[in-house]
Amino acid sequence: MKRLNRRNTLNLVKELDAFPKVPESYVETSAFGGTVSLIVFILMALLTISEFFVFQDSWLKYEYEVDTDFTSKLKIKIDYIFYALEFPYSCLGVSFEPSPQKKLWYQILHQIQNRLREERSLQDVLFKSALKGYFSDPVPQNDSPSNSQNACRIHGQIYVIKVAGTFHITLGKPIDTIRGHAHFASLIKNEVALNFSHRIDYLSFGNDVPGHINPLDGTEKITLEQNMLFQYFITVVPTKLHTSGVSVNMHQFSVTERERVVSNKKGSHGVSGIFIKYKLSPLMVRVREEHMPLSVFLVRLCGIVGGIFSTSGLLHRLIGYFVDIICCCFRLGADQSKEVSHY
């Protein structure tokens, strides 16, 4: 009785088999089928390899939230050179003309910045390549004395509270007036002609991050006009970068530039110099590096294998069906011609 129940159970399970086996004696092979199978196997291998590379790769995800950190200090790091032949000789010490190595670096830097304006995803590549050590730092400054010492270099870092502010370079001793901050030279009626041509080698807010290129890095402003006012209006965005290799709080920024000639005679009032005004965005950007989970990779791999098998089998049957129809038409036409010639 137990054996009978087992046989009935096995027979029931066999009837539920969704993958019936075809005896080998009923299987017919062909050269066309073998060719299709070879193409299918090659295609499966290529897609599997490409999917494996996708599984190994990572991408950056951007999220936005309100910045609630108001107590920490913000680091501002500056390094720029301005043309200063009219300034006191104690200020001069470097040459305004960059070295050949720095010229090459500026060209590469400008190309990357132009591409960054067109393609935002390039910044992801710079982040990941820098973290892997593929990105080199800028060419170091050469402060050795040269034949043409016609410029001053100002570099260093300052810590400020996280509120809007400004810092600038202009002529004259700073003084405090009723209306606010001013410079002694701007109160003199006789205008002094000064050339404020300059080059910003580096300007960053917050911690340094390898691979992050700031919008003003390598910016060069050369003018033949005297008493020029250069203004940079900057919006700083707090950013938290979390990857498998580093976790750091940094700051990105966007900039709007403006320049004009200061001439009280022509009604263009102001103070000539280089003015950088910045403000902080209330929103914070969180950047996280993400990888494809192993479960997703296996599901995608099964989808590739199953999809190729199903599609190739369907195409093989359709092509074989049309080939049989064409062959039958040719055979039918040949038989009819034979009959006509026989009569």
The mean pLDDT of 55-73, rounded to a whole number, is: 85
| Of the candidates 69, 94, 116, the residue with the CA atom closest to the CA atom of residue 236 | 69
DSSP class per residue in 214-242: PTTTTEEE--SSSSEEEEEEEEEEEEEEE
Pick 282 or 309 by higher pLDDT. 282
Given this model, what pLDDT does residue 61 score?
Answer: 84
pLDDT digits (tens, 9 = 90+) for 114-151: 777 766 655 666 665 555 544 445 555 554 555 567 78
Residue 42 has pLDDT above 90, yes or no: no
Higher pLDDT, 8 or 125: 8
Task: Give residue 261's pLDDT.
Answer: 86
Mean pLDDT of 260-267: 78
Name the residue with higher pLDDT: 195 or 294: 294
Q: What is the pTM of this model?
A: 0.68
Give buried/exposed letters for 100-124 (b at 16+ CB in 10 A, else e): eebeebbeebeeebeeeeeeeeebb
Residue 2: pLDDT band with limits 50, 70, 90 = low
pLDDT at 134: 46
Is the pLDDT at 62 greater than 60? The verdict is yes
Confidence of residue 280 (pLDDT cuts 50, 70, 90): very high
State how far Cα 176 lies from the chain centre: 44
Q: Pick the closest to residue 165 from 279, 67, 84, 64 (CA basis).
A: 279
Nearest to 291 by CA among 122, 63, 55: 55
